Amino acid sequence: MAGAARRLIEEFWRIQDDGDYRRLVPLFAEDAVLEDPVFGTFRGRTAIADFMARMVEEMRTRGVHFTAEEIQGDERVAWARWTMHGPAGPRPGVGIYLVENGRLVYYRDYLDPPRRSAPGS
């Protein structure tokens, strides 16, 4: 049976699928921390809201979207294996989430480096 953290992250991905990252902000606690491998660390809901607004434009401009491949979790911790789809092809990643009192308090993404051609190819 899915715990509270898993259910919250499933909702997170349903919201993210429409591309309006600003709608994710209410899922975060006031003092949440979000660590993104490309854009850096954001502390507090206000900073996260600014980042999410930027993500709407960045992803649209870059032609990027994400799909969740698998989501698992319990009452407090969840993770999602996801794929970033863009002009350079798909890149896998993982999100780690910590939930307290029904809100995200910590979120960190890990993204595989871009694929490189083998030497001489």
- Nearest CA among 85, 80, 68, 78 for reference residue 17: 68
Give pLDDT, residue 57.
Answer: 93
Q: What is the pLDDT along the chain (121 residues), one digit of tens a residue?
A: 579 999 999 999 999 988 899 999 999 999 999 999 999 999 999 999 999 999 999 999 999 999 999 999 999 999 999 999 999 899 999 999 999 999 999 999 999 877 765 565 5
Q: What pTM does this model have?
A: 0.89
Q: Which residues contact 86 (CB under 8 A, 6 or more apart)?
A: 62, 63, 64, 65
Give pLDDT, residue 115.
Answer: 72
Fold (topology level) of 4-111: Nuclear Transport Factor 2; Chain: A, (3.10.450)
